[in-house]
């Protein structure tokens, strides 16, 4: 609704309310005036009777002591003039016909009093008093009715009975016009007063309507804001409780693996003979992986909540993605004695475009959850593809388990973040309760959806993921996915000379150990400036490093600056970023600075060595510039 429309609507509301107020006020005023005139009529009847027995007790001209028959007629006529209007004033107060009836009765009373007084000029002022009283109605039409009655009375009696109205036995047939003119003269001011009074009352009604609507609007705004504040307060309290529960559970989730890591590390350092070293190291590795997964979940959730989650569609083979998930989780299923089954329709495309990394992340979470919450039976993954257009369609994957299942209350909140963190199920099976929430948001970010299709306690659950795929094809050559992980290795094919730029002593020793065990040699520097010098000295001496491992956050000169400067000078050797900044924009920043590849901390030894081997075997990016001219 536009501002102009809102203003017009408000004006119409004010005008309608002002008319309503004015109508109510006019009706109430008419009721009051009706009652007042009814009382006046009754009072005038009493006065008329007194006048009949005091002022005119004898013959009409006052020369004989017998009551004139006109006196009795006036008394009876006065009763007739009063009784019906009085009854009408109480039976139909405020009605238009009541007002006009009372006006006629009041003006006829003026005529009667003039008759009872023998046409005395003083009694004629009763006409003007009656007109003034009738003006209380604030209705100019009443004044017209009263004037017609006065004029008609003076005309009839002035022509045929002038003594009753003018006090003379004979009179001019046009004298009534003079009296009517004076009444009209009086009407001019009274009618004007009525119109002005109505206009003033209309303005007051408009102001009252404006004030009422403004008050109502303020009250409505206050009610709405109060309701919004109440809702916001409830949401804030709920969020505070949820996050408090989440933090408590997160503390538990972090401290549990840290206890194992620090405990077994202490045993290895002080009482190595008390535990199997391989078993202790495996325990440390597993708990470290758990902590890394926990950190990734928290980072994903924070990016989703801030609408910062980035998606990178690429070509991949859906069947390969399913196979990778199966290979990754099959060992976990066998450890619990579960059967892990994967099935796919024959029409699954061999090549298509979507964010394969996020798709695998959702699948790993769904299948991993199914394995975690299933004690016996099986976990089935059923994939199918539905064509929507020539090269587009939806990939639907159902993950079905025979686990503990979810009750109706749990089904309602299963996709809400933080909510599961304090549930008894989570406490029994561990975890943060963020996986399903993150997975659903990832599916929505890819244009799909994730839903709980069915679940029953003691029977199991069925979750369904639907993701749109683009540029689908069935060319087997297109089946080679571009997003497959880099190859891994434990030994270099030849002796490689590696420059490590790292300021952390522990990481220096770790990288040195990785490279030397793989058959390479290591030169270590602790900041980017020293890395810049070492790289160019080696290049000048014609003994360039095969690969530079560059930490991106170091003192003196960071890795971004050192890499950019090396590329500016014409250095074409491979540089691999090694950093704990693991966000997608951090990867882009490393590549924009001139790095050839990226490895995130904590380090995967096999992945790191594999990337070193790949880039050491690759040809230079370009011909190096003359170091003497560029340095």
Full 3-state SS string of 482-502: CCCCCCCCCCCCCCCEEEEEC
Q: What is the pLDDT of residues 460-476, one digit of tens each?
A: 999 999 999 988 887 64
Q: How far apart are CA 429 and CA 371, in angstroms?
A: 11
Q: Reduce the DSSP state of residue 465 to 3 states and report it.
A: strand
What is the helix (H) or strand (E) element at residue 521, kind and residue range?
Answer: strand 521-525
What is the helix (H) or strand (E) element at residue 93, kind and residue range?
Answer: none
Q: How far apart are CA 39 and CA 93, in angstroms?
A: 13
Q: Which residue has the tokens 């408009």?
A: 206
Distances (CA, A) of 296 to 284, 414, 433, 580, 581: 18, 20, 13, 12, 12
Higher model confidence: residue 187 or residue 488?
Answer: 187
CATH class of 497-630: alpha beta
Q: What is the pLDDT of residue 144?
A: 87
Q: How far apart are CA 580 and CA 590, in angstroms?
A: 12
Q: Tell me which fold the domain 314-479 belongs to.
A: Heat Shock Protein 90 (3.30.565)
Q: How far apart are CA 152 and CA 127, in angstroms?
A: 13
In DSSP terms, 499 is beta-bridged to 523, 548
Q: What is the pLDDT of residue 304?
A: 73
Q: What is the pLDDT of residue 377?
A: 92
Tell me the whole-structure pTM to 2 decimals: 0.50
Whether the pLDDT of residue 479 is over 50: the answer is no
Mean pLDDT of the chain: 81
Q: How far apart are CA 44 and CA 86, in angstroms?
A: 12
Whether the pLDDT of residue 103 is over 50: the answer is yes
Task: Write down the domain spans for the chain.
Answer: 23-186, 263-305, 314-479, 497-630
Per-residue burial over 562-580, b if 16 or more Cβ lie within 10 Å, else e, is bbbbbbebbbbbbbbbbbe
Whether the pLDDT of residue 481 is over 60: the answer is no
| Residues 140-165, mean pLDDT to the nearest whole number | 79
CA 27 to chain centre: 47
Q: At what angle do helices 175-270 and 140-160 cross, to 10 degrees?
A: 170
| Residues 452-465, mean pLDDT to the nearest whole number | 92
Q: What is the pLDDT of residue 422?
A: 42
Q: What is the pLDDT of residue 195?
A: 85
Burial class (CB in 10 A: 0-12, 13-18, 19+), 626: exposed
314-316/351-354 β-pairing? antiparallel
Is residue 593 within 8 Å of residue 564, measured between CB atoms?
yes
Whether the pLDDT of residue 432 is over 80: the answer is no
Is residue 526 within 8 Å of residue 550, measured between CB atoms?
no
What are φ and ψ of residue 480, in 5° steps? -70, 110
Q: How far apart are CA 176 and CA 35, in angstroms?
A: 31
Q: What percent of the residues of the chain are helix, what percent strand, and what percent coil, each to the nearest 5?
A: 65, 10, 25
134 is written with which tokens? Answer: 């009738």
Q: Which of 156-165, 237-246, 365-374 has the highest mean pLDDT?
A: 365-374
Q: What is the pLDDT of residues 546-603, one digit of tens each?
A: 999 999 989 999 999 999 999 999 999 999 999 887 666 778 889 999 999 999 888 8
Q: How far apart are CA 253 and CA 278, in angstroms?
A: 24
Q: How confident is the model at residue 391 (pLDDT cuts 50, 70, 90)?
A: low
Q: How far apart are CA 524 and CA 526, in angstroms?
A: 7
Q: How many other β-carbons are positioned within 10 Å of the β-carbon of residue 99?
A: 23
What are φ and ψ of residue 461, in 5° steps? -140, 155
497-501/521-525 β-pairing? parallel
Polymer length of the chain: 631
| Residues 302-321, mean pLDDT to the nearest whole number | 81
Q: How far apart are CA 371 and CA 399, in angstroms?
A: 10
Q: How far apart are CA 108 and CA 104, in angstroms?
A: 6
Q: What is the pLDDT of residues 19-65, one digit of tens each?
A: 888 888 888 888 888 888 888 888 888 877 777 666 655 544 544 54
* CA-based nearest residue to 598, from 565, 534, 550: 550
Q: What is the pLDDT of residue 482?
A: 39
Give me Rg for the CA atoms of the chain. 51
* CA-based nearest residue to 579, from 593, 565, 567, 568: 593
82 is written with which tokens? Answer: 């009063």
Q: What is the pLDDT of residue 82?
A: 81
Is residue 481 within 8 Å of residue 368, measured between CB atoms?
no
Instruction: Average the pLDDT over each of 3-7, 510-514, 537-541 and give the range with the smallest value.
Output: 3-7
Determine if the peptide bond prior to 614 is cis (ω within 30°). Answer: no
Q: How far apart are CA 354 and CA 312, in angstroms?
A: 8
Q: What is the pLDDT of residue 267?
A: 75
| Residues 505-532, mean pLDDT to the nearest whole number | 92
Is residue 584 within 8 Å of residue 310, measured between CB atoms?
yes
Instruction: Average the pLDDT over each of 320-329, 413-422, 611-620 and give the range with the smallest value.
Output: 413-422
Is residue 370 within 8 Å of residue 399, measured between CB atoms?
yes
Q: Which of 40-49, 150-159, 374-383 has the highest mean pLDDT?
A: 374-383
- Separate counts of helices (H) and strands (E) for the chain: 19, 12
Q: What is the pLDDT of residue 258?
A: 79
Q: What is the pLDDT of residue 504?
A: 87
Q: What is the pLDDT of residues 230-279, one digit of tens each?
A: 998 888 887 777 677 667 666 766 776 777 788 778 777 777 666 778 88
What percentage of the chain exceeds 70 in pLDDT? 80
491 Cβ contact partners less than 8 Å away, ≥ 6 residues apart: 518, 519, 609
556 is written with which tokens? Answer: 């003196």
Is residue 168 within 8 Å of residue 156, measured between CB atoms?
no
Q: How far apart are CA 509 and CA 529, in angstroms?
A: 20
Q: Which residue has the tokens 């007109």?
A: 131
């Amino acid at each position: 609704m536009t501002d102009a429309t809102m203003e017009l609507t408000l004006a119409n509301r004010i005008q309608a309310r002002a008319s309503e107020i004015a109508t109510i006020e006019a009706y109430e005023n008419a009721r009051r005036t009706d009652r007042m005139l009814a009382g006046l009529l009754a009072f005038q009847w009493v006065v008329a009777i007194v006048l009949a027995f005091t002022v005119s007790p004898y013959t009409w001209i006052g020369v004989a002591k017998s009551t004139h028959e006109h006196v009795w007629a006036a008394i009876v006529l006065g009763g007739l003039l009063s009784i019906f209007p009085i009854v009408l004033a109480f039976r139909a107060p405020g009605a238009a016909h009541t007002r006009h009836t009372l006006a006629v009765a009041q003006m006829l009373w003026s005529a009667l009093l003039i008759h009872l007084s023998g046409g005395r000029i003083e009694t004629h002022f009763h006409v003007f008093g009656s007109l003034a009283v009738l003006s209380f109605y604030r209705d100019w039409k009443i004044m017209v009715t009263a004037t017609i009655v006065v004029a008609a009375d003076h005309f009839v009696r002035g022509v045929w009975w002038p003594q009753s109205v003018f006090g003379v036995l004979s009179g001019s047939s046009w004298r009534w016009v003079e009296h009517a003119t004076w009444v009209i003269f009086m009407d001019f001011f009274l009618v004007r007063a009525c119109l002005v009074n109505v206009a003033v009352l209309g303005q007051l009604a408009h102001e009252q309507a404006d004030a009422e609507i403004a008050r109502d609007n303020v009250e409505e705004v206050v009610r709405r804001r109060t309701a919004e504040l109440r809702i916001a307060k409830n949401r804030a309290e709920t969020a505070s409780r949820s996050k408090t529960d989440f933090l408590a559970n997160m503390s538990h989730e972090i401290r549990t693996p840290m206890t194992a890591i620090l405990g077994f590390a202490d045993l290895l350092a002080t009482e190595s003979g008390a535990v199997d070293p391989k078993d202790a190291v495996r325990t440390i590795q597993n708990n470290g992986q758990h902590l890394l997964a926990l950190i990734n979940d928290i980072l994903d959730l924070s990016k989703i909540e801030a609408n910062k989650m980035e998606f990178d569609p690429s070509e991949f083979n859906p069947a390969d993605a399913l196979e990778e998930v199966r290979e990754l989780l099959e060992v976990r299923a066998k450890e619990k004695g579960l059967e892990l089954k994967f099935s796919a329709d024959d029409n699954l495309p061999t090549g298509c475009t979507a964010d394969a990394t996020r798709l695998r992340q959702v699948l790993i979470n769904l299948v991993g959850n199914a394995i975690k919450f299933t004690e016996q039976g099986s976990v089935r993954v059923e994939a199918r593809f539905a064509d929507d257009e020539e090269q587009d369609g939806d990939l639907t994957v159902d993950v079905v388990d025979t686990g503990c299942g979810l009750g109706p209350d749990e089904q309602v909140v299963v996709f809400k973040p933080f909510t599961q963190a304090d549930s008894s199920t989570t406490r029994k099976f561990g975890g943060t309760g963020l996986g399903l929430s993150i997975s659903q948001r990832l599916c929505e970010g890819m244009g799909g959806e994730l839903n709980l299709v069915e679940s029953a306690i003691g029977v199991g659950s069925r979750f369904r993921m639907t993701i749109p795929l683009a540029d689908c094809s069935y060319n087997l050559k297109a089946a080679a996915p571009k997003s497959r992980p880099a190859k891994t290795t434990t030994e270099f094919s030849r002796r490689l000379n590696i420059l490590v730029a790292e300021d952390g002593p522990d990481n220096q020793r770790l990288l040195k150990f990785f490279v030397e065990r793989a058959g390479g040699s290591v030169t270590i520097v602790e900041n980017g400036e020293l890395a810049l010098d070492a790289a160019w000295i080696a290049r000048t001496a014609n003994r360039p490093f095969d690969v530079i491992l560059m930490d991106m956050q170091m003192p003196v000169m960071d890795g971004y600056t050192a890499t950019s400067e090396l590329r500016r000078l014409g250095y074409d050797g491979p540089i691999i970023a090694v950093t704990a900044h693991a966000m997608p924009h951090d990867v882009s920043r490393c590549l924009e600075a001139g790095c050839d590849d990226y490895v995130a901390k904590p380090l995967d030894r096999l992945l790191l060595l594999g990337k070193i081997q790949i880039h050491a075997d690759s040809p230079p990016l370009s011909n190096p510039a003359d170091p003497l001219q560029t340095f």
